Structure 1
C-alpha cells in the first residue's frame, strides 16, 4: 500500500470512529486488517452486527440477516430478490450454507458522517424491518411447533406474539 493510500485509509478510519462515537453505537475492531464490527440495535431483530472492512479504494460492508430457511425456499428467496430492487448501496446475498446477509461496497473516500448514517440506516432497515416477514416465510412450521409446545406447557409466548395471527386458529388454539 502506498503512503497516500495508507493516509486515505487512516483518515477514513478516523471519520468512521468519530461517527460511531458521536452516535453512540457499540463497536470493536475485527479480526482482519481495517475491520470494524458495529452493533446496530433493532426492534424486530434485537441487533444487527455489521462488519466494515476499510481498504484503500473501497470499503466493504456486510451483516448477517437470517439463517437458511427451513421451508418455502422459493418464496423466501423471491421476496429477497424483490427487496433488492429497493435497496441502495447493498443487496441481499447468501453464503454457501444458504444463510442470508446484506452486502455492499462503497468508495472509502465517501465515508463521511452523512454517508455512514445513510449506509447504517439501509443495513438496519434491510435486516430489522424485513426480519418478521422472512421468519414467517421461511420458518412458519418451526414457529407453529414452538408455539404449540409453549402453550401446552404454559410457557411464555412473548417472543412469538408478532406471529400470533399465523400461529393460532380462529378458536385461539395452536394451528
Structure 2
C-alpha cells in the first residue's frame, strides 16, 4: 500500500512538472516556484494514517507581533487543506494533513496549488507586517552604497504604504 501511495505522489509531481527529492522512503521535498516568494520548499510525508504537508513560510517576525499573528489567524479561516502554524521558536509554516484514503493525484495537485498560492500571495504582506524596519534598513543601506540591483520584497515603485515610500525616484501613478 505504501509503495502504491508513493507512486501516486510521484506521478502527481511528474504531471505538475515539479522538481523534488526523496531523502528517505515516504518523504518528498518539493520545490514550488513562486513570483513573490521565489520558492516554497514543501514536505510531503507519508505516515501510517495520513499524508502530512509542511512548508516553511517565514521566520518569526521582528516586530508588530500582535497584528502579524492576527493577520495569520484571519487568513486561516478561509484556507483549504493547509493552515498557518508556528513552531516552538515562532517561525511560520503552512501545515496540513489528509487521510491516506484521500491521497489521489488530484488532491496532491490541489494541496500543492494551495500551498503555492497561500505562500506566494501572502508573502509580501507578511514581510510588511513583521519585518518593515529590517527591510527599510537594508534598502537604505543599498541606496547609500549604490547597490540597488533590485528591490527588496514588498517594495515596488509607486506602491502605497509604509514600505513603498522607500523606493527612490518618482511614482508612475
The verdict on a shared fold, with TM-score over 0.5 as the criterion, is yes
Which of 90, 93, 103 pairs up with 2:85?
A: 93
C-alpha displacement of 1:159: 3.0
Which sections of structure 1, spanning at least 5 residues, go unmatched? Answer: 1-6
Please identify runs of 4+ aligned residues in structure 1 that moved more than 4 A.
169-173
1:41-120 to 2 correspondences below 5 Å: 41-120=33-112
Does residue 1:25 correspond to 2:18, yes or no? yes
Distance verdict in 2 for CA 1:171–1:90, change over 3 Å: closer
SS of alignment partner, residue 141 of structure 2: helix
C-alpha displacement of 1:30: 2.8
Which of 148, 164, 168 pairs up with 2:165?
A: 168
SS of alignment partner, residue 117 of structure 1: helix
Which of 140, 164, 167 pairs up with 1:148?
A: 140
RMSD value over aligned CA atoms?
Answer: 2.0
Q: Deviations over 1:5-33 (max 9, x none)?
A: xx2x21111011011112210011134x4
Which sections of structure 2, spanning at least 5 residues, go unmatched? Answer: none
Q: Quick one: distance in 1 between partners of 2:126 and 2:46?
A: 30
Q: Quick one: distance in 2 between partners of 1:143 and 1:10?
A: 46
Distance verdict in 2 for CA 1:118–1:170, change over 3 Å: closer
TM-score (norm 2): 0.88
Q: Quick one: distance in 1 between partners of 2:96 and 2:164?
A: 35
Q: How many residues align?
A: 165
Distance verdict in 2 for CA 1:73–1:50, change over 3 Å: same
C-alpha displacement of 1:56: 3.0
Report if aligned partners of 1:147, 1:157 keep a CA contact under 8 Å in 2.
no
1:37 matched to which residue of 2?
29
C-alpha displacement of 1:160: 2.1
Report if aligned partners of 1:37, 1:52 keep a CA contact under 8 Å in 2.
yes
1:129 matched to which residue of 2?
121
Q: Deviations over 1:79-110 (max 9, x none)?
A: 00000001111111001111000111001222
